[in-house]
Structure 1
Amino acid sequence: MGNAAIAEAVDLFAGLGGFSEGAEMAGIRVVWAGNHWRVAVDTHAANHPGTRHACQDLHQANWAEVPRHDILLAAPCCQGHSRARGKAANNPQHDASRSTAWAVVSALEYHRTPAAVIENVPEFLEWALYPAWAMAMNQLGYSLAPHIVDAADHGVPQHRQRMFIVATRSKHPLQLTLPKREHVPVSSIIDFSAGKWSPVEKPKRSPKTLARVAAGRARFGDRFIMPYYGKGSGLTGRSLDRPVGTITTVDRWAIVDGNRMRMFSKDECRAAMSFRATYILPRQHKLAVHMLGNAVCPVVGRDVLEALRAAA
């Protein structure tokens, strides 16, 4: 499987399109993308007009309608695995979320694609049914090589740890040699001249927020970032000289600049995820942030796919 052999991809659970964007950055054409949510499909289509799109539950997909391809990309729903969202058993929503991974097996059973890359949170490997899922993949002839990757190590201005399983029809798992780049500070993506600022000391401001601001000022001076919820830097603030913490599906990161503060804009969240500045997002801030928080970082996807092509 040389470089020329990985020329076309399909993208399952394509969402906003981070995996597709990364594939195209690596010179791989995405010929088909599927997702159950119409907003996601329309947004993906606006950014990838040359790709065929399907809006459907991929559990019920007719894989005969999916064009031939060299590599399958998939980012099954992660909420049922994530510690941030809870992994309690007997939660029907989370059980359904976890079950989306079986669509990958179904697609590969039909197409027997030479390679696949599956992205999820690292807790995917702790899923009670992961051994059965892995065995099903093995029965189809795929060797699995999980890689735990922090986006910051790829020059993305965000610490975001995700798992990429490289599945190849080979006797042994294919361990990739991934690049490790210098960390990029979050200051590189913040526009202090833009956004909707408000006074730090305003009526009804939460005492917890004011305490976090005070702690951040004590450590970093007048300019820093801080999360509105969560542990760790939620209590201490965070330096602008470091990558931001994980971009989530709801507004989390606030910027403090002297006596004013605001949340990250959707453009800053897009940059923190390593999407190009021209990538089209939904107009509604809340919706854009939700989709960005669920996305694959394009630069990380590119690096994984380029390493796969080099190793194959």
Structure 2
Amino acid sequence: MIGIDLFAGAGGFTEGARLAGVHVAYAANHWPLAVSFHQANHPETRTDCQDVQQADWRQVPRHDVQLASPACQGHTPARGKERPYHDALRSTAWAVVSCAEYHRSEAVVVENVPAFLNWTLYPAWEDAMRRLGYAVAPHLIDAADHGVPQHRERLFLVCTRSRSPLQLALPKRPHRPIADVIEWDAHAWSPIERPGRSEATLRRIAAGRAVFGERFVAPYYSNGSGLTGRSIDRPIGTITTCDRWAVIDGDRMRMLQVSEAKAAMGFRSDYVLPSAKKPAMHMLGNAVPPIVAADVLEALRAAA
């Protein structure tokens, strides 16, 4: 099976395809840094740095499955109120239709946030895919159900050239705790009680300690997991593009590190990412967990 990866980022979908035995012949993304790391991790894939909406589909290899993760920022409630640029971000989903119209691949798999289904133009988008001969089957998938130590619910639209929508028989694995990937004896820690620490943070840590004991994780820069954080004996909440999760260990704390976030996303330990933390976390927060992508593709192949 041959695939292409649109809006590829650093390559989570491509990595998952590799695990499933799918050769990704082509990948495209507009961010030069992400493209460079996609190339480093997947040298066998031809990678273009460009706005996918401007792609010349004649230059894209023939393929069996199109993989695509169009921009989610215009859909996700995590971004807060509507902003003018969201229309431009939402419109990236039409590149999926454009590619499918030209290539008519046997399958198209689109990953996005569940709120993609609430997009005002989603019915028109789905109708366009149907008019191209695709049956569209929405699947809501939590990465934690696939052995990733993170609750990350995403929408996967499985579009196939079949008479009726294809409901995949996906495996369900035991949940893994985030404690499995926290590197307790590595990285720099700081005292919880120090000048400048916000009162809100101190209250959350005190409440978390009362519920979970000395070790737990908590959101540091944004909302989520209530006022107490969450137990390390369960999957962590969603890894986002901002560096938001703190690890608490007794009277010390630190932010979740790139190597831990990489493991929490289900990437292999030797997967290459930028040495600078901000772009590395951004790439991880935008990525598709590879094992989820692999499970979807393997189930798709089995159902075909």
TM-score normalised by L of structure 2: 0.98
Which residue pairs with 2:29 in the alignment?
35
SS of the residue corresponding to residue 236 of structure 1 reads: coil
Q: Deviations over 1:271-290 (max 9, x none)?
A: 00000000000111011001
Per the alignment, residue 174 of structure 1 pairs with 166
Matched, 1:114 2:106: yes
Kindly indicate whether the alpha-carbon contact (under 8 Å) linking 1:15 and 1:40 is maintained by their aligned counterparts in 2.
Answer: yes
Match of 1:244 among 232, 236, 247: 236
CA distance in 2, matches of 1:87, 1:219: 33
- Is 1:275 aligned to residue 267 of structure 2? yes
User: Counterpart of 2:75 in 1: which secondary structure?
Assistant: coil
1:125 and 1:10 mapped to 2: Cα distance?
A: 23
Q: Report the Cα distance in structure 1 between the residues aligned to 2:182 and 2:282, rounded to whole angstroms.
A: 19
Work out the CA distance in 1 between the residues paired with 2:59 and 2:200.
53
Shift of 1:229: 3.9
CA contact (8 A) 1:228 1:234 kept: no
SS of aligned partner of 2:90: helix
Equivalent pair of 1:80/1:86 in contact (CA under 8 Å): no
Q: What secondary structure is seen at the aligned counterpart in 2 of 1:157?
A: coil
Is the 8 Å Cα contact of residues 19 and 297 (structure 1) preserved in structure 2?
yes
Check if 1:228 corresponds to 2:228: no
- Output the CA distance in 2 between the equivalents of 1:173 and 1:230: 38
Q: 1:48 aligns with which of 18, 37, 42?
A: 42
Letter paired with 1:96: A
1:210 aligns with 2:202: yes
State the 1:170 CA deviation: 1.0
Measured against aligned partners, the alpha-carbon deviations of 1:238-269 in whole angstroms (never above 9, x if no partner) come to: 11100000001011110111110000001101
1:157 alignment partner, one of 130, 149, 153 = 149
Displacement, 1:86? 3.0
1:25 aligned to 2:28?
A: no
* Residue aligning to 1:186: 178
In structure 2, C-alpha distance between the alignment counterparts of 1:241 and 1:250, rounded to whole Å: 23
Q: Deviations over 1:68-96 (max 9, x none)?
A: 111100000100000001352xx331111
Other-structure match for 2:276: 284
**1:60 alignment partner AA:** Q
Q: Number of paired residues?
A: 304
> Residue 307 of structure 1 aligns with which residue?
299
Given that residues 87 and 94 in structure 1 are in contact (C-alpha distance below 8 angstroms), is that contact kept between their aligned partners in structure 2?
no
In 1, distance between residues paired with 2:206 and 2:90? 41
* Offset at residue 305 of structure 1 (A): 0.6
For residues 148-206 of structure 1, what are the alpha-carbon distances to aligned partners after superposition, in whole Å with 9 as ceiling and x for unaligned?
A: 00000001000000000000011100000111110000000000111120000011111
CA distance in 1, matches of 2:5, 2:112: 14
Once the two structures are TM-superposed, the CA of residue 234 in structure 1 deviates from its matched residue by: 4.1
Q: Is 1:60 aligned to residue 54 of structure 2?
A: yes
Local SS of the residue matching 1:167: strand
Q: Which runs of 5+ in 1 are unaligned?
A: 1-6
Do the aligned residues in 2 keep the contact of 1:81 with 1:123 (CA within 8 Å)? yes
The answer to which of 91-100 and 294-303 deviates more is: 91-100
Tell me if the contact between 1:82 and 1:121 (Cα under 8 Å) persists in the aligned partners: yes
What is the percentage of aligned positions where both structures have the same residue? Answer: 64
Report the Cα offset of residue 59 of structure 1: 1.1
Q: Which residue of 2 aligns with 1:123?
A: 115
Q: Conserved in 2, the CA contact under 8 Å of 1:187 and 1:241?
A: yes
Which of 176, 179, 190 in structure 2 is aligned with 1:198? 190
For 1:32, the aligned partner's letter is Y
Question: RMSD of aligned C-alpha atoms?
Answer: 0.9
Aligned mates of 1:218, 1:63 — CA distance in 2: 57
Structure 1 residue 14 corresponds to structure 2 residue 8: yes
Write the distance in 1 (CA, Å) between the matches of 2:242 and 2:235.
Answer: 18
